[in-house]
Chain A
């Protein structure tokens, strides 16, 4: 075995020292044995790059705001950013079931129904009175828009028809989320309202899951 043959075989072996043919060349060739020991040093140092950096603490604050905004955090972890408690319940999310059913149906049909839906610019967000909440909401909404665009781009590389399907479905589910969030904001103490926000996001994540399953190799 010469150096070229040795180096050609090298990628196959995590530990070339263990293969007898390679081992023989390795013993007789200082170039190749230096190469192998250098690569070993690199491989040995590589794990030190894992979990080696702390993210900016700001990231948690943004994430927390997004989780609250999406109704995933439903109890105050800190007194900050929590809206003052409101009096009066009695509000019921009577429309939630039909809407959820409609969205579920849409998703159910997604696979079979050829679509002519095209638009995806349904992303205007209703204004919120509280400034902090408004900022959070705007940030989260923008993130949502970008995310939707990302998803559609990936789906679009597979098929333009699927892209249109997902665009229409995202539009529906985003409208559902907006309604549910508005209702939950108006009635912060109503568990059903919070639940429907969860449901709405669950619907959305289902869409994402389906799209990812389709698009990822």
Chain B
């Protein structure tokens, strides 16, 4: 095929890459992939807590997006579009696996997390910064529904109304489940630190 589009300066802007990808330029697809792969893969990994699944879902999200690139119009934000699509791909995967995308209704609400008081509870406060790795482990250990809400809101920065729409729950539900997820993380972090201190 003649008339192949090649980047001249070596680097394409996102807008250029989108236009060239529409023409079937492999380099342009790679540029777009490289611009967004970390964000998409990290999202998939945090939501599933499983490397193999995250890899499959990352590929799937990009594939679905690239199939529709011809319909993409410049005025909408490409990254927002991709991000949304990645979330949908992950949520669909979770649903398919029968995993809750929103925490199952707590029928036996105990509020144990919030009101339980133990001797020395104050000492067990997190007292300051939480580091990335310890938070990452705690998030991985969250039940899937809580993990989704926490990742979507606190990690990825979606608003409650967006989350409610994506996962199919009320805004109030999204708020209360996020709060519970944070409480669970706090407990997990405290526990982890207590165990570490014993060693």
Question: Are B41's CB and A55's CB within 8 A?
Answer: yes
Known: A49-B132, A63-B59, A153-B96. A76 touches B26 (CB 8 A): yes
Which residue, of A50, A68, A154, A204, has the highest number of chain B Cβ atoms within 10 A? A50
Q: B residues within 8 A CB of A209?
A: 68
A72 and B45 alpha carbons, distance in the complex (Å): 26
Q: A residues within 8 A CB of B150?
A: 46
- Determine whether A133 belongs to the interface, using a CB cutoff of 8 Å to chain B: no
- Determine whether B4 belongs to the interface, using a CB cutoff of 8 Å to chain A: yes
Query: A11 contacts which of B27, B64, B179 (Cβ < 8 Å)?
Result: B179
Which residue, of B38, B64, B126, has the highest number of chain A Cβ atoms within 10 A? B126
Known: A11-B175, A54-B37. A41 touches B126 (CB 8 A): yes
Query: B24 contacts which of A47, A49, A62, A73 (Cβ < 8 Å)?
Result: A73
Question: Are A53's CB and B41's CB within 8 A?
Answer: yes
- Determine whether B13 belongs to the interface, using a CB cutoff of 8 Å to chain A: no
Within 8 A of A (CB), among B19-36: 21, 23-27, 29-30, 33-34
A55 and B55 alpha carbons, distance in the complex (Å): 7
**Closest Cβ–Cβ distance, residue B72 to chain A (whole Å):** 12
Query: A201 contacts which of B67, B128, B151 (Cβ < 8 Å)?
Result: B67
A183 and B26 alpha carbons, distance in the complex (Å): 21
Q: A residues within 8 A CB of B125?
A: 34, 37-38
Closest to A73 in B: B26
Query: B92 contacts which of A42, A150, A189 (Cβ < 8 Å)?
Result: A150
Q: A residues within 8 A CB of B67?
A: 70, 72, 201-202, 204-205
Query: A72 contacts which of B24, B54, B186 (Cβ < 8 Å)?
Result: B24
Q: B residues within 8 A CB of A201?
A: 67
Known: A11-B179, A42-B135. A75 touches B33 (CB 8 A): no
Q: DSSP class of A's interface residues: helix, strand, loop or mixed?
A: helix
Closest to A150 in B: B96
Known: A42-B186, A52-B38. A67 touches B29 (CB 8 A): yes
Q: A residues within 8 A CB of B114?
A: 7, 10, 35
A87 and B54 alpha carbons, distance in the complex (Å): 42
Question: Are B29's CB and A72's CB within 8 A?
Answer: yes
State the B residues within 8 Å of A (CB). Answer: 1, 4-5, 21, 23-27, 29-30, 33-34, 37-39, 41-43, 45-46, 54-55, 58-60, 62-64, 66-70, 88, 92-93, 95-96, 111, 114-115, 117, 121-122, 125-126, 128-132, 135-136, 139, 150-151, 154-157, 165-168, 175-176, 178-180, 182-183, 185-186, 189
Top 3 closest A-B pairs, CB basis? A77-B26, A74-B24, A217-B168
State the A residues within 8 Å of B (CB). Answer: 3-4, 7, 10-12, 30-31, 34-35, 37-39, 41-56, 58-60, 62-64, 66-68, 70-78, 143, 147, 150, 153-154, 189, 191, 194, 198, 201-202, 204-205, 208-209, 212, 216-217
A-B contact pairs, 26 of them (CB 8 A): A3-B115, A7-B114, A10-B179, A35-B114, A37-B125, A38-B125, A38-B189, A39-B186, A45-B129, A46-B154, A46-B155, A50-B43, A55-B38, A55-B41, A59-B41, A60-B33, A63-B59, A63-B63, A68-B26, A74-B1, A76-B26, A150-B96, A154-B96, A198-B70, A208-B64, A212-B88
